[in-house]
């Protein structure tokens, strides 16, 4: 069934809208559809030291929903709001219906649904201005940015991920119903990877330029992953301990002109082959072969161009790295990358990398950053706790 473990959410009792704590021992799982072995009934725990959805195997679908707080949403209102959305998250991720869900069957197959919550500059300034980290603000502008298209900033972010778009749509709608009184929808963006089952679980995704995208990325088992990702006593305010900083960039791709570039040209732009993502210094070596940035071609030029994306994006300072978690978007008239990344401090991790790219990345001819947002992703929470309690307490 979908609801393994303790889910402190809500389920419907009888035919009334009365709620009671969801108890998987005594209540049938809504996700139990007669033993069908599909993955729709799989649920990921929402409780933990860190929020769910940051280090889990990326889901096929991701929706980002950003809200701006209403004028009269004060600390007391935020406490009420976070109490409500905590219950929503506990129920929905367990495959159970949140309080007064009129469409409770849509909650039944969560397909690894996660809901990850972040807060923006204005929200923190409203409740704890002295405890806002410096990085929780719009990023410095980069020369090639074309922001202002309606995909910037926000005070409250939901990252809703699942292997099926149906639970995402339902979860976003339930959250919206509860958030509406407190905040106004700013923007929503929906991204995708290949459907589950299309590739081996955890396979590096391909973006819409056809490239293997995400090869060189810190992994949770790396010795320095925690230091790159999670905020601790020294690196942030106490309300963010075990949280993380998230940067989201909407990056449009000019696929029509990109497709006119020949294959070698497209491979040189990145510094890797299109077939399997191997470095151009080690073709056939697979995507994880080591890159030799010093290798020279017989004509004396570097094999990895001085402006190749992987050379410009590569950090020689190991503490400057970011944890990328991206997805594709395709609205029919426009396609690109929803570039998301986690780190302790965007000013010392994302920003220097993006500065190098903005300065001289061969990719710049075909990609444009049109949206930008920074959020503080809250620490995780345990059963009985309210998400974000340390910020509002
Ligand atoms: C590497 C594509 C934007 C940071 C790569 C790779 C590809 C790629 C194909 C090589 C495989 C891999 O290691 O993942 C793209 C595309 C972008 C884009 C198509 C825009 C549409 C960005 C941005 C950043 C970034 C905005 C950060 C500011 C990185 C990093 C690496 C990388 C850190 C690994 C570099 C290394 O080898 O050390 N990207 N990328 N990328 N990219 Fe991007």
Query: Which tens digit of pLDDT belongs to each residue from 103-151?
Result: 999 999 999 999 999 999 999 999 999 999 999 999 999 999 999 999 9
The DSSP output letter for 219 is: -
Question: Which atom of ligand 1 is nearest the CA belonging to 354?
Answer: 28
∠ at Cα 214 (209, 218), nearest 5°?
Answer: 165
Ligand 1 neighbours (beta carbon < 6 A): 207, 209, 211-216, 249, 251, 253, 270, 272, 277, 309-310, 313-314, 337, 339, 350, 353-354, 357, 363, 367
Which residue, judged by its Cα, is nearest atom 8 of ligand 1? Answer: 213
Helical spans, DSSP H, in the chain: 75-93, 121-127, 165-179, 225-229, 255-258, 263-270, 309-313, 350-360, 389-392
* pLDDT surpassing 60 at residue 11: no
pLDDT value at residue 98: 93
Question: Which atom of ligand 1 is nearest the CA belonging to 322?
Answer: 33
Over range 50-57, report the average pLDDT: 97
Tens-digit pLDDT profile for residues 323-379: 999 999 999 999 999 999 999 999 999 999 999 999 999 999 999 999 999 999 999
Asked if 283 contacts 336 with a C-beta cutoff of 8 angstroms, the reply is: no
pLDDT value at residue 35: 59
**Ligand 1 site-directed mutation target among 313, 328, 336, 349, most atoms within 8 Å of CB:** 313
∠ at Cα 178 (139, 123), nearest 5°?
Answer: 30
What are the Cα distances from residue 311, in Å, to 33, 143, 315, 317, 357?
A: 50, 20, 8, 13, 9
Whether the ipTM is more than 0.90: the answer is yes
Tens-digit pLDDT profile for residues 249-306: 999 999 999 999 999 999 999 999 999 999 999 999 999 999 999 999 999 999 999 9
Length, in residues, of the chain: 393
**Ligand 1 site-directed mutation target among 219, 282, 309, 320, most atoms within 8 Å of CB:** 309
pTM of this prediction? 0.92
**Ligand 1 geometric centre to CA of 383 (Å):** 37
* pLDDT surpassing 60 at residue 7: no
pLDDT value at residue 34: 56
Asked if 61 contacts 162 with a C-beta cutoff of 8 angstroms, the reply is: yes
Question: Which atom of ligand 1 is nearest the CA belonging to 357?
Answer: 28
Residue appearing with tokens 């994306």: 309
Q: How many CB atoms are located within 10 Å of the residue 261 CB?
A: 15
The DSSP output letter for 357 is: H
pLDDT value at residue 37: 64
**Ligand 1 geometric centre to CA of 311 (Å):** 10
Band (pLDDT 50/70/90 cuts) for residue 202 is confident
């Amino acid at each position: 069934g979908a609801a393994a473990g303790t889910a402190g959410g809500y389920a419907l009792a009888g035919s009334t809208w009365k709620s009671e704590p969801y108890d998987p021992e005594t209540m049938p799982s809504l996700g139990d559809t007669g033993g069908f072995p599909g993955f729709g009934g799989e649920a990921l725990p929402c409780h933990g030291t860190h929020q769910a959805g940051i280090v889990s195997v990326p889901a096929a679908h991701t929706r980002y929903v950003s809200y701006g707080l209403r004028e009269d949403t004060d600390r007391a209102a935020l406490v009420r709001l976070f109490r409500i959305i905590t219950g929503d998250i506990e129920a929905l991720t367990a495959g159970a219906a949140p309080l007064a869900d009129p469409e409770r069957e849509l909650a039944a197959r969560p397909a690894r649904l996660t809901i990850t919550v972040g807060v923006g500059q204005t929200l923190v300034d409203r409740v704890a201005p002295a405890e806002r980290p410096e990085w929780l603000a719009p990023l410095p502008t980069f020369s090639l940015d074309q922001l202002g298209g309606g995909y910037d900033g926000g005070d409250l972010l939901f990252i809703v991920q699942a292997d099926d778009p149906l639970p995402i749509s339902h979860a976003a709608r339930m959250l919206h119903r509860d958030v509406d009184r407190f905040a106004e929808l700013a923007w929503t963006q929906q991204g995708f990877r290949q459907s589950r089952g299309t590739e081996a679980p955890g396979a590096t995704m391909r973006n819409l330029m056809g490239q293997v995208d995400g090869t060189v990325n810190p992994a949770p088992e790396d010795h320095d992953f925690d230091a790159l990702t999670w905020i601790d006593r020294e690196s942030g305010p106490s309300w963010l301990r075990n949280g993380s900083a998230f940067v989201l960039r909407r990056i449009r791709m000019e696929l029509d002109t990109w497709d006119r570039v020949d294959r070698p040209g497209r491979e040189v732009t990145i510094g890797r082959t299109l077939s399997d993502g191997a470095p151009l210094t080690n073709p056939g070596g697979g995507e994880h072969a080591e890159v030799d940035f010093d290798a020279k071609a017989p004509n004396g030029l570097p094999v990895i161009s001085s402006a190749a994306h992987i050379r410009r994006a590569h950090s020689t300072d190991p503490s400057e790295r970011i944890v990328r978690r991206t997805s594709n978007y395709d609205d029919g008239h426009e396609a690109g990358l929803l570039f998301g990344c986690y780190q302790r401090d965007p000013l010392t991790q994302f920003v220097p990398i993006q500065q190098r790219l903005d300065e001289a990345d061969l990719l710049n001819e075909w990609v444009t950053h049109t949206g930008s947002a920074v959020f503080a992703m809250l620490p995780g929470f345990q059963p009985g706790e309210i998400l974000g309690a340390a910020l509002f307490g």
